[in-house]
Structure 1
Amino acid sequence: MDIVELCRLALERVPAYGDYVEKRCGRRPEIRSPEEVKSLPLTSKADYIKAYPLEALCIDGTLRGKHVLCRSSGTKGKPFFWPQLPEQERYVADWLYSDLDEAFSISSRPLFAVVSLALGSWISGELTSWGLRNLAVQRGGLTLVTPGLDMDEAVDMLEAFAGKFEGTVLYSYPPFARTILERAAARDLPLAAYRMGLRLAGEGYSERYRDHLNRLMGYDEGNLHSIVSGYGSTDFGSLGKETPLSIAIRRLLHERGLARAVLGRDEIPSLCQYDPSVFHVELEGEELVVSRYQAVPLLRYRSGDRASLIAYGEMMERLASVGVDPLRLLAERGGDPSRVRDLPFVLVWGRIDGGVSFFGANVLVEQVREIVEGQEAFRSCCTGQFQIRKKEAADLDPVLEILLEPRRGGEGDAAALSDLMASCLAAASAEYAVVREKQGSKALPRLRFVDDREMFGGTKFRYVG
């Protein structure tokens, strides 16, 4: 991507961006080299996107030519809608085809696809369904169904149709995909005979999760091709993708306990490769900053995610220094090292502000803070200090845990406060409201009152309110 040309386009043709830069720099600078891009101010949803009318954020200050609007979550129950250019979606069918042909040989074998993502105006489900439908029309070899978040219907469709095809791919969020496969296994559906694959979105998952789902589908635990995810957002699209190489690296870190030796931390992050010809990325401190050409061009846009960027050569050197070779593991597990692209890696560790993604819904610090500070039931028993965590239960369910510092004089009723927190989050976030409806008691946050040592003494938490 020509970052200099993108800067010029935004300064000249995006009314909001030109005004934004003038107010912060006192003028519209002329950007002549990639190095000068760093002289431009950072942007974010709060101080740029929400500060201007939607049309002013678009190329040429108009919604004309932007063929669809896709929603992202809002902090107060009011979503933001991102316009899309046709060229942002034209690549989708081709990208899906290359992925499915490499993994399932769709050019020669008929394939069944089940889209169990949120539909309507949610971009992940709509873009995936749109791309697959176009692929089916243009190239054939594919039949799809779109049960959305109705997991029982998804299992019904697997039972009715998966056996009629030579491969089946399920598009979903990690917790929903696990539920669908476990319900299918409980019905004794022959998942191994379906030659299944998963394409996941919305949040990360552990290698224990990969082990479990591979067993359900009839694969070896360490299979590198059956489960693929990525990194992105509604704001700027799909930035990174898990590749057989990046999965091989995660398997080495997991199976041999090498995370600290290679990455300097015990936890294993989301680990994807990205294409610098499409995205310009940088780090501001630990925060990933993204620039991209789209209907609402983004320049030095703060993602809100804590990340690391590692060049291909550096990653391979780090692994070699501890005596492991991911290309060798890739070959041993049925991959083709000659197809590996030497693309850089983006490692995502979590949200900068401590928010989490839970069953595909973003639970933000601001949302929790407003509830803790605004609801009398919380004010009467809590100091206002809190911490958000997402944990993985023994059964692999995600758990939303909120730690609270009690006031002197006693703790509140954790069960009642949990119900209140869930109700308030559902009112503040359409995404969480869907999760609460679909997941029931699993969506309830687990509230715990803790002392100063647990609240402030650890190093793993990301935010204390």
Structure 2
Amino acid sequence: MQQKLTGTPSIQPANLLGLIKSKGTNYWMKVRERQMLELFHATSKRVPAYKDYLKKSKVNPERIETLKDFASIPPINKKNYLRVYPFDKLVWDGDIKKPITIHATSGSTGEPTYFQKEFIFDRRRELILENFFNCNELTLEGPTLFVITFGMGVWSAGMSIYTAAYLATNKNTYPISIISPGINKIEVLKILKKLAPYYQQVIIAGYPPFVKDIIDDALREGIDIKKFNTRFIFTGESFTEEFRNYLSEKAGIRNIFTDTMNTYGTSELGAMAVETPASIFIRRLAQKKNVYKELFGDGVNIPTLAQYIPYFVNFECVSGDLYFTGNNTIPLVRYQPGDSGGVFTFQQLENSLLNVDVRLKAEFEKLGISKYIHKLPFVYVYERKNLATTLYGILIYPEFLKIALLNRQLNQFLTGKFTMIRKHDKRQNQYLEINLELKKGVYFKKYYETKTLEKIIETLKLKSSEFRELYKNLQNKANPKLVFWPYEDEKYFKPGIKQTWVKKIS
């Protein structure tokens, strides 16, 4: 029996988890080619917007027969596709008369953007969670408490993972209890104090910096986190291996490869790729310069490395930019999410590591994780450059600050230029640093800091409902750190060059 998304050509084998555990590179590359071509042809025939887009791009769908042909199709993105056509022209057969779940995210304007998902997408995330549950015997032995600390309500991350956990738990009768306090630290701490002691294991799902806050505060309040056999599921942003080490040490993680998992996803398609024991091991290995260079070239930041299921989504890398092709209520073919990175097959990555004397099979056996290794393809993703930064998984766009700095009072002493940097202190606490340029001849006064911070917080709360919810729970801990610089200081405000609104550091 196969599961089919109503109205679309996407078919997912009923025994997919078994295929993931048993199949190798050749199988997955054949699936990749078939899925990409089939989705393209179905979309070109049955999605009014895409049919029109191809016509305007002078693409004859009948001539697209191979992956080489496929690579000639003009890519789509928000600007040239999603924002050009009305919603009812973007969906299969122009028909929204079917069960659809709608989630929202705040875009660069602060206005919510709505995304639609059908039941099959919950089933896909269910399978990802099921695989994660199966990587730890204590989870299946139970009782296990699953604590979801993502924003709930209309926001996609919390509702998606709740639904997937509910489906996986009930389908398999796992001994897992689910509770969803959302981004509410007080409630989470109450749960850890009063409810968690009744369970053999606790799984905490949330944005990385928020999860860290929970662990730090729990330890400060005398909660013995280590006795919970804790596991973590993250999404929303990347993090360093130092961050993973910090959390693992504080929470007493037993196996860093099987008990932590980050997710790479987009609003358009949801969770697309996830960390696995294999990807975590390789990413940690890439902290060695020779390994990093062999895999990622001459960069400095270690990207998120994850594996993906070709039945769900497929990736291409074009001149360092990632494109993905995946089925959805709005199917997307060669879509540009704005991310940079690259792709590997399992075999390619395995062969590359031989060049630096790393034999993956032997390493996995040594670590005792061989039975959790799957030969799915890999995608690696760098954080987006000069677009936005994140704070507790929430996107902070430069536009928000530009609006705040237009305030008349602030204009008396600030030029309106700034550079945002997300940083971590020695205790791995995340904070947002905002470097601001003073006007020529103006010298810093404490009053400037107070007034500027007040206006920035006011604007962020006004423009981003996610930040408003975060601030309600974290209060002053969500405040950015402001640093004031002299006019045209060369560190951030060198004259004659384009202003860098967002700076990324490793």
TM-score normalised per structure 1: 0.89
Please state how far the C-alpha of 1:380 moved relative to its aligned partner: 4.6
Kindly provide the amino acid, as one letter, of the partner of residue 401 in structure 1: E
Kindly provide the amino acid, as one letter, of the partner of residue 431 in structure 1: E
Paired with 1:402 and 1:299, the residues of 2 have a C-alpha distance of: 37
Match of 1:273 in 2: 307
Q: How does 1:296-315 map to 2 (within 5 A)?
A: 296-315=330-349
Asked if the contact 2:91/2:329 (under 8 Å) is kept, the reply is yes
Please state how far the C-alpha of 1:242 moved relative to its aligned partner: 0.8
Asked if the contact 2:283/2:305 (under 8 Å) is kept, the reply is yes
Asked if the contact 1:66/1:83 (under 8 Å) is kept, the reply is no
Please state how far the C-alpha of 1:233 moved relative to its aligned partner: 1.6
Work out which of the residue numbers 320, 323, 326 in structure 1 matches 2:354: 320
Distance 1:198 1:61, change over 3 A: same
Please state how far the C-alpha of 1:114 moved relative to its aligned partner: 0.9
Match of 1:77 in 2: 110
Where 2:237 maps in the other structure, the secondary structure is: coil
Match of 1:40 in 2: 73
Kindly provide the amino acid, as one letter, of the partner of residue 210 in structure 1: R
Asked if the contact 2:109/2:399 (under 8 Å) is kept, the reply is no
Match of 1:100 in 2: 133
Paired with 1:423 and 1:439, the residues of 2 have a C-alpha distance of: 15
TM-score normalised per structure 2: 0.82
Matched, 1:188 2:225: no
Please state how far the C-alpha of 1:243 moved relative to its aligned partner: 0.8
Match of 1:400 in 2: 432
Kindly provide the amino acid, as one letter, of the partner of residue 70 in structure 1: H
Distance 1:154 1:257, change over 3 A: farther
The range that moved more, 67-76 or 261-270, is 261-270
Please state how far the C-alpha of 1:464 moved relative to its aligned partner: 4.3
Where 2:71 maps in the other structure, the secondary structure is: helix
The range that moved more, 27-36 or 183-192, is 27-36
Kindly provide the amino acid, as one letter, of the partner of residue 424 in structure 1: T
Match of 1:205 in 2: 239
Asked if the contact 1:391/1:398 (under 8 Å) is kept, the reply is yes
Asked if the contact 1:115/1:129 (under 8 Å) is kept, the reply is yes
Paired with 2:301 and 2:318, the residues of 1 have a C-alpha distance of: 22
Where 1:351 maps in the other structure, the secondary structure is: coil
Distance 1:364 1:394, change over 3 A: same
Matched, 1:154 2:191: no
Where 1:39 maps in the other structure, the secondary structure is: coil
Distance 1:310 1:434, change over 3 A: same
Match of 1:113 in 2: 146
Asked if the contact 1:55/1:61 (under 8 Å) is kept, the reply is yes
Paired with 2:39 and 2:402, the residues of 1 have a C-alpha distance of: 37
Q: CA RMSD in A?
A: 2.7
Distance 1:410 1:21, change over 3 A: farther
Q: How does 1:4-43 map to 2 (within 5 A)?
A: 4-23=37-56, 25-26=57-58, 29-30=61-62, 31-43=64-76
The range that moved more, 100-109 or 377-386, is 377-386
Asked if the contact 1:260/1:266 (under 8 Å) is kept, the reply is no
The range that moved more, 71-80 or 446-455, is 446-455
Asked if the contact 2:124/2:312 (under 8 Å) is kept, the reply is no
Matched, 1:421 2:453: no
Distance 1:201 1:447, change over 3 A: same
Match of 1:215 in 2: 249
Asked if the contact 1:44/1:301 (under 8 Å) is kept, the reply is yes
Note the alpha carbon deviations across 1:373-417, whole angstroms, 9 max, x for none: x44455554445433321222221222223334432226724422
Kindly provide the amino acid, as one letter, of the partner of residue 388 in structure 1: M
Work out which of the residue numbers 480, 483, 492 in structure 2 matches 1:455: 492
Distance 1:41 1:110, change over 3 A: same
Paired with 1:146 and 1:42, the residues of 2 have a C-alpha distance of: 38
Note the alpha carbon deviations across 1:51-96, whole angstroms, 9 max, x for none: 2222221111122214211112222222111111222222333332
Paired with 1:197 and 1:71, the residues of 2 have a C-alpha distance of: 28
Asked if the contact 1:304/1:353 (under 8 Å) is kept, the reply is no
Please state how far the C-alpha of 1:319 moved relative to its aligned partner: 3.1
* Matched pairs, number: 458
Match of 2:22 in 1: none
Match of 2:423 in 1: 391
Where does the alignment leave 5 or more consecutive residues of structure 1 unmatched? none
The range that moved more, 375-384 or 387-396, is 375-384
Paired with 1:46 and 1:375, the residues of 2 have a C-alpha distance of: 30
Asked if the contact 1:103/1:225 (under 8 Å) is kept, the reply is yes
Where does the alignment leave 5 or more consecutive residues of structure 2 unmatched? 1-31
* Percent identity over paired residues: 24
Please state how far the C-alpha of 1:342 moved relative to its aligned partner: 2.4
Note the alpha carbon deviations across 1:221-240, whole angstroms, 9 max, x for none: x7322221121122111111
Asked if the contact 1:288/1:303 (under 8 Å) is kept, the reply is yes
The range that moved more, 381-390 or 434-443, is 381-390
Paired with 1:417 and 1:386, the residues of 2 have a C-alpha distance of: 12
Matched, 1:172 2:206: yes
Please state how far the C-alpha of 1:7 moved relative to its aligned partner: 1.6
Please state how far the C-alpha of 1:276 moved relative to its aligned partner: 2.9
Q: How does 1:45-56 map to 2 (within 5 A)?
A: 45-56=78-89
Please state how far the C-alpha of 1:146 moved relative to its aligned partner: 1.1
Q: How does 1:298-447 map to 2 (within 5 A)?
A: 298-336=332-370, 338-372=371-405, 374-377=406-409, 379-410=411-442, 413-447=448-482
The range that moved more, 113-122 or 42-51, is 42-51
Asked if the contact 1:75/1:428 (under 8 Å) is kept, the reply is no
The range that moved more, 290-299 or 5-14, is 5-14
Note the alpha carbon deviations across 1:175-201, whole angstroms, 9 max, x for none: 111111222222322322211101111
The range that moved more, 35-44 or 323-332, is 323-332
Asked if the contact 2:437/2:493 (under 8 Å) is kept, the reply is no
Distance 1:282 1:403, change over 3 A: farther
Work out which of the residue numbers 77, 94, 99 in structure 2 matches 1:61: 94
Kindly provide the amino acid, as one letter, of the partner of residue 387 in structure 1: T
Match of 2:257 in 1: 224
Where 1:153 maps in the other structure, the secondary structure is: helix
Asked if the contact 1:392/1:398 (under 8 Å) is kept, the reply is yes
Paired with 2:470 and 2:196, the residues of 1 have a C-alpha distance of: 27
Kindly provide the amino acid, as one letter, of the partner of residue 117 in structure 1: F
Kindly provide the amino acid, as one letter, of the partner of residue 453 in structure 1: E
Kindly provide the amino acid, as one letter, of the partner of residue 231 in structure 1: Y
Matched, 1:235 2:268: yes
Paired with 1:91 and 1:289, the residues of 2 have a C-alpha distance of: 20
